[in-house]
Structure 1
Amino acid sequence: MMNRVDLTEAAADLVRRLREDNGPLMFHQSGGCCDGSAPMCYPAGEFRTGGSDVHLGDLVVDDEAVPVWMSARQFELWRHTHLTIDVVPGRGGGFSLEAPLGVRFLIRSRLLTDEESLALNG
């Protein structure tokens, strides 16, 4: 199955820890402002999504889905990329759940192959 978004094992470990403390989770790929362009992790439903957001897919961690969203406007610019959520030492801007832990999620991206692009974008 083709995925537009994936998770490194280090990020999956952090998701497990955050889920243990906060319950079900979700990501929204920030488009800038305070935290730059970073994947923000929230308790599921805490960040309201709507018609101006695109569901990129679900990350599955231990059989539990973690939905990943992005604004439709940003998606138009990123639609040809595969995104991998990773975690590194350092502090983000403070809105994401991992901020107090001294680490931050970040996006690693690469261009989709022609086959991936056709499968995902039609």
Structure 2
Amino acid sequence: MSTATESRAVIAGEGFSRVAFTEEALELLRKLWTIHGPLMFHQSGGCCDGSSPMCFQAGEFKTGNADILLGVLELNDASGEELGPIDFWMSKEQFEYWKHTKLTIDVVSGRGSGFSLEAPEGKRFLIRSEIIEFPTS
């Protein structure tokens, strides 16, 4: 796996990143941003496409009390110019299962069957998780 870009930590009391993005994921996000504008992710629980991170136009997926913001990626274009933030949300129920993992968003060839924006590109986002001990402060 290539090097990963860390998202900004956003959970109160935590000073570490829970979500990172591979360079391949960043390249696809730049393309999707150009086509669709500001983006967001949501990771729900469940099977099939429910276990894949879903990419939407920012605000298209309504989040609420049942969701937790895990991180914010500050996306830049290939020249380093800032495009904007991409929030990564997860259902709180799923977070209870994954709270001891570091998530890295990657891309593989193939199409999922969901509504995620990358489907028409012949790619799909996928989570690579690593169980780690997070710092306590």
Q: Please, what TM-score do these two structures have when normalized by structure 1?
A: 0.90
Q: Deviations over 1:13-57 (max 9, x none)?
A: 000000000000000013124514000000000000000000001
Higher mean C-alpha displacement, 60-69 vs 50-59: 60-69
Decide whether aligned partners of structure 1 residues 31 and 117 sit closer, same or farther in structure 2, where only a CA change above 3 A counts. Answer: farther
- How many residues are matched? 117
Runs of 4+ more than 2 Å apart: none
| 1:65 is the counterpart of 2:85 | yes
Question: Which of these residues, 1, 9, 20, is aligned with residue 34 of structure 2?
Answer: 20
Correspondence for 1:76: 96
> Counterpart of 2:93 in 1: which secondary structure?
helix
The correspondence for 2:105, drawn from 85, 92, 100, is 85
Could you tell me which amino acid in structure 2 is paired with residue 22 of structure 1? H
Q: Quick one: distance in 2 between partners of 1:6 and 1:89?
A: 19
Aligned to 1:30: 44
Q: Which residue of 2 aligns with 1:7?
A: 21
Pairwise CA RMSD: 1.3
Q: Give, in whole Å, the separation in 2 of the partners of 1:8 and 1:117.
A: 23
Larger helix fraction of residues: 1
Secondary structure of the 1:20 match is: helix
**Distance (Å, rounded) in 2 between the aligned partners of 1:76 and 1:117:** 17
The amino acid across from 2:120 in the alignment is P
